[in-house]
Structure 1
Amino acid sequence: MVEIQPIGNAYSESVIDLILNIQQKEFNVPITIEDQPDLLEIEDFYLASGGNFWGAFINGELAGTIALVKFDEKAGAIRKMFVKSEYRGKEYSIAQKLLEKLISYCNENGMTEIYLGTVSILKAALRFYERNHFIIIEKENLPAKFPLMNADNVFCFLNLKSKL
């Protein structure tokens, strides 16, 4: 049974462990905790601006994460969407449940645009976003306030108004 709940700084260590293992060991992305100081300050970075950070738990174990950076009154950016390899796929549907929680939060809070940046080597992630009606856009078409990450080279957009 998957339980999804908002999490804060108390979970920073577990979040860092989960995310860095996937980034560095599984996908060989040259990124460190120094490149992601937001993970040490979840509440200040995500919650204070009106965004959120959720964890997916299975039997008390952190199995996945997703975060929302609210960077405009009506727009947010998905960050830190990661699921441990042993919990990926349809059996648990963790990524889908996390995304649905984030979309629901956006709808409840009057946000109509969701953006994200990712890296092209994460092919399964791109297919997942496309299945969920995100469209790939050029970097030049991102809003000026979009919080860019250096590693990202593919950008996606979801218009929640068109999904209503």
Structure 2
Amino acid sequence: MSLHVGTMAFLLAVVLVLMLLVSKFALRPMVEVMRKRQSYIDEQISAAENSQKQAEQLIADQQAALKEARNEAHAILERAKKQKEQEAQQIIAAANERAEQMLNDAKAEIIQEKEKAVAQLRGEVGQLSVLLASKLMEKELDASEQAKLVDRYIQEAGELQ
């Protein structure tokens, strides 16, 4: 086997021409496709990361909104409890005030009725005194008859009532 310089040069030239042709028509388009595919994959990964960040942000926002809603609901319940307690205290105060007013009215009515009864009793006592005096003047009595007469008039006055 002998090496021929001419054949080697020809083969070398053929390999170089083939490499240039493969590089120009096959390798460059394939590298371009691979670069586009890598760019597409990078964009998809970036979009997925952005979507994940947005989802995490949305979850955080939803949790914050839920916490705020719970706090607001708690505040509403607390306000309702306070309002209920205030209304209950107002109702109790109004009832106490009404009871006090009724008690005062009843006392005033009792005093009024007492004064009426005393006035009526005074009138009756006055009448009985006048009657007793007129009876006593009609006849002179001794002490025992006078005591009997007074007792009888008192019994008659008790029966009149």
TM-score interval w.r.t. the shorter chain?
under 0.3
| Structure (1 or 2) with the larger CA radius of gyration | 2
From the two aligned structures, give the one with the greater strand fraction.
1
- Give the structure, 1 or 2, with the largest relative contact order (CA under 8 Å, sep 6 or more): 1
Which has the larger helix fraction?
2
